[in-house]
């Protein structure tokens, strides 16, 4: 009996999901982040991150928060529109700079 119910749920599940799914319009580009612009930070990639880099990056990007991530550090996976994340390599050079 349980097998029959399980098979019925598996068979009917996808058709029910299709009927309740609402289509979303395709985005031509990802949504812009308010309060963070990492465009100017791209020039830092490949260069050592200075001691006052977080303050300078905050001013240049307009972000409220600057997160500097070094190798092996644990970070949250949440996305914040007002945060600039700068990733460094083992030598302290900038690998990436992105909003979120």
* pTM for this model (two decimals): 0.65
What span, in angstroms and rounded, lies between the C-alpha atoms of 16 and 32? 34
Pairing outcome for strands 94-99 and 83-88: antiparallel
Q: Which domain holds residue 94?
A: 39-99
Residues 6 or more apart in contact with residue 55 via CB below 8 angstroms: 66
Within-domain flag for 56? yes
pLDDT of 85: 94
User: At 71, which CATH number?
Assistant: 3.30.10.10
Counted domains in the chain:
1
Walking along the chain (100 residues) 10 residues at a time, the average pLDDT comes out as: 61 56 54 74 92 90 93 92 94 94
What span, in angstroms and rounded, lies between the C-alpha atoms of 36 and 94? 18
pLDDT of 29: 46
Within-domain flag for 7? no
Within-domain flag for 8? no
Within-domain flag for 27? no
Tokens of 3: 């097998």
């Amino acid at each position: 009996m349980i097998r029959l119910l399980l098979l019925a749920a598996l068979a009917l599940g996808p058709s029910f999901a299709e009927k309740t799914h609402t289509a979303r319009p395709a985005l031509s580009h990802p949504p812009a982040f308010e309060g963070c612009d990492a465009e100017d930070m791209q020039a830092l990639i490949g260069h050592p991150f200075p001691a006052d880099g977080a303050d300078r990056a905050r001013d240049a990007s307009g972000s409220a928060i600057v997160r500097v991530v070094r190798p092996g550090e644990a970070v949250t996976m949440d996305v914040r529109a007002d945060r600039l994340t700068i990733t460094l390599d083992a030598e302290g050079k900038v690998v990436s700079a992105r909003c979120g």
